[in-house]
Structure 1
């Protein structure tokens, strides 16, 4: 378990992390989200004792990191790519870590097999690709068989097979009752990996909730409709008091609508439908809506917005 209580980090006048309080519990994969500059990396560094908090504290299974004996056996972390000496082999990099934490030599072979690097164990790490480097970083995190694991952008540089592997690994670790905390900018991957979410913006906690509840609260649901009789359908929906969105592609969307009711209206008026499908917005959309006011840098969006048809009238 990871417990944060009033965690704060200031750099001069800038507040990078602002009184963060939350708990990362065992048994589930907890995703850590936030825009660039939100304070995610600083928070994870403070969890590992790499940065000292200005105020507040972090406890790993009830103890500060600097009071953990043989810390690799309590918490494993992947934070930075290529955090090793390039002249060492993968085997000797892990062996050094093992010896410094009282971990048996045999464990090095085990984790190299686990991450798929056994065949290149004796190669110098400076020759490793980004994906191979990620696998080595994950091997280091697993080396002490810890109860708590932190992963920062673990799938960067991995091919589809590797992404599937790390996703399965994280779920398996959580299923064993371990605490798994993962930060990523890949929303699609986070959506199928994480069970719980911690979201921050400008150093402050924005959400601490389950994945399903986060999407439900912050993203719209809608019904998508395609029909060759678009104008007739729009008239029928307007007369029934149904709010519609006319998209640029010519489809129709009904916000918070019931597919059953729309289908019944279309049937009553003998309108042919090619598609009638309830849709739930994505994690990415939910994230963008929640964090819109906390993003430091905004690019100009020149994409035309859809036309809302709430006040549409016949003949307009």
Structure 2
């Protein structure tokens, strides 16, 4: 488990992280979201002891990172895929990590095989593609067979097969009872992977909740209905105490009512429906709604 208590980091007058308190628990994939400049990378670096907090504390299974014996056997992390010696072959890169943490050398072959890099074990990472570098970074994170793994943009540079593999890997690690903490800007991928979400903006905690509850609380659910007798349907819905709104391409959108109720109103009055669907906002829409006031760098739309 990863536990943060009032974690704060200031750089001069700039506050990068302010009073973060949350826990990343085992058995689920926890997504870590926030706009650019929200403080995600700084938070992850403080978890690993790479940056010292101005105040507050981080605990890895109850201990600060710097007190962990053989830390790679407790927590593995992928933060910068290219942070390897470009002239050292992949096997030797992992060998140095293994020896520094008392990890058996046989484990190197196991993780290279797991990430699909056995065939390039004697190649130098300086010539690796971005996707291959990501795979080597994941191998490094898993080298000590840790109970906690932390990934920052793990699918960056991967092809669809690689993305599918990383998604299933994270789910399997969580199913095995490990703590999985992953940061990504790919909302569609996060929606398919994460069970729980921690969202920050301008260094502050905005949400710490399940994926389902996050979308429910930060999105607009509605029913979309289409009929060749649209105006009559509008009148009937209004008479029933509902508030029909205008949807795209002549559709009607109604909030606060199940689709079945609208279908019943139409059937009772002999109306033909061409579409009747319950709609729920995506993770991306919910995220944009929650963080719209916490975006540090915001571009104008084209033409404005």
Which stretch of structure 1 is more off in the superposition, 237-246 or 47-56? 237-246
> 1:253 Cα deviation (Å)?
1.4
**1:72 to partner: Cα distance:** 0.7
- Counterpart contact for 2:81–2:136, Cα < 8 Å: no
Quote the offset at 1:301 in angstroms: 4.3
Q: What SS class does the counterpart of residue 248 from structure 2 fall into?
A: coil
- Conserved in 1, the CA contact under 8 Å of 2:224 and 2:247? no
Q: What CA distance in whole angstroms lies between the structure 2 residues aligned with 1:130 and 1:105? A: 26
Is 1:218 aligned to 2:218, yes or no? yes
Q: Residues 10, 116 of structure 1: CA spacing in aligned structure 2 closer, same or farther, 3 A cutoff?
A: same
Q: Deviation per CA, 1:230-256: give whole Å up to 9, x if none.
A: 222222222322212212322221122
Distance in 2, Cα, partners of 1:138 & 1:144: 11
2:75 and 2:221 mapped to 1: Cα distance? 39
Partner residue in 2 for 1:110: 110
Counterparts of 1:237-248 in structure 2, within 5 Å, are 237-248=237-248
Identify the residue that residue 199 of structure 2 maps to in structure 1: 199
TM-score w.r.t. the length of structure 2 is: 0.96
Partner Cα distance (1:272, 1:290) in 2: 38
Within 1, Cα distance between the matches of 2:88 and 2:230? 66
Which residue does 1:184 correspond to in 2? 184
* 3-state SS of 1:132 partner: helix
Distance 2:89 2:15 in 1: 40
**1:302 Cα offset (Å):** 7.0
For 1:173, the equivalent position in structure 2 comes to 173
- Partners of 1:177 and 1:279 lie apart in 2 by 34
Q: Secondary structure at the match of 1:53?
A: coil
Q: Find the counterpart in structure 1 of residue 46 from structure 2.
A: 46
Q: Which is further off, 216-225 or 37-46? A: 216-225
Q: Any residues of structure 2 matched to 1:18-97 within 5 Å, and which?
A: 18-97=18-97
What is the alpha-carbon root mean square deviation over aligned residues? 1.5
Size of the aligned set, in residue pairs, is: 304
- Quick check: 1:279 aligned with 2:259? no
- In 2, the alpha carbon distance for the partners of 1:236 and 1:156 equals 51
Local SS of the residue matching 2:156: coil
Give the C-alpha shift of residue 226 in structure 1.
Answer: 2.1
Q: Report the more deviating stretch, 256-265 or 14-23.
A: 256-265
In the alignment, the residues of structure 1 paired with residue 158 and residue 232 of structure 2 have an alpha-carbon distance, to the nearest angstrom, of 49
Taking the aligned partners of 1:116 and 1:96, their CA distance within structure 2 comes to: 20
In structure 1, the partner of 2:125 is: 125
Where structure 2 has 5 or more consecutive residues not aligned to the other structure, the ranges are none
Aligned mates of 2:202, 2:236 — CA distance in 1: 46
Answer with 275-284 or 13-22: which moved more. Answer: 275-284
